[in-house]
Amino acid sequence: MDVHVLFSGGKDSSLSAVILKKLGYNPHLITINFGVIPSYKLAEETAKILGFKHKVITLDRKIVEKAADMIIEHKYPGPAIQYVHKTVLEILADEYSILADGTRRDDRVPKLSYSEIQSLEMRKNIQYITPLMGFGYKTLRHLASEFFILEEIKSGTKLSSDYEAEIRHILKERGESPEKYFPEHKQTRVVGLKKEI
């Protein structure tokens, strides 16, 4: 059974794809791009390492333009990242019957509430799977280190394949400093495998 996994190349979306494969699904990785910059490149590299089918879907730039507006208005990226993620899921739910992502139990954003998940599944007649929802940070860190060789980078220092990369670029285009809005954090991506998946 095919499952389409929102994929950034990070440890969480990679781990979700591996878990789904082990459950008997056939993961197809999807990286979203908004035509601002080629932020999908790292995800393409990681998909090859994992050996899963991968495609880039380009959506309307207006989505991340609105997200940048929201960040400037709220002075914080949380609501904007949540808006982008929900919008992406709504769009993809019109195309694919089983969607998944790397949302974790400890995530604040992006994360759908139980009622939002129910609504999405009922309205669009789809299945939405979040394989990591039952795992805490320590467990996920352990699992990722069992399967993957990881590279940890400070956010904004290297082009990543998540929503944040293109939003940061738009903020810069507007003369804004992304560091003013995005709290410093670490991002982890998969650069190799430790064991066969």
Is residue 183 predicted with pLDDT exceeding 90? no
Exposure on the CB side of residue 52, measured as CA atoms within 13 A: 34
Maximum mean pLDDT: which of 121-135, 141-155, 157-171, 181-195: 121-135
In this prediction, residue 109 has a pLDDT band, given cuts at 50, 70 and 90, of confident
Counting Cα atoms < 13 Å in the Cβ hemisphere of 137 gives: 3
pLDDT for the residue 136? 93
Q: Contact, 57 vs 32, CB < 8 A?
A: yes
pLDDT at position 118, please? Answer: 98
Mean pLDDT of the chain: 95
Whether pTM exceeds 0.85:
yes
- On the question of pLDDT at 95 being above 90, the answer is yes
Q: How confident is the model at residue 156 (pLDDT cuts 50, 70, 90)?
A: low
Q: What is the pLDDT of residue 157?
A: 65
Residue 55 scores a pLDDT above 80: yes
> Which residues are bridge partners to 47 per DSSP?
none
Confidence band for 94, pLDDT divided at 50, 70 and 90 = very high
CATH superfamily, domain at 2-193: HUPs (3.40.50.620)
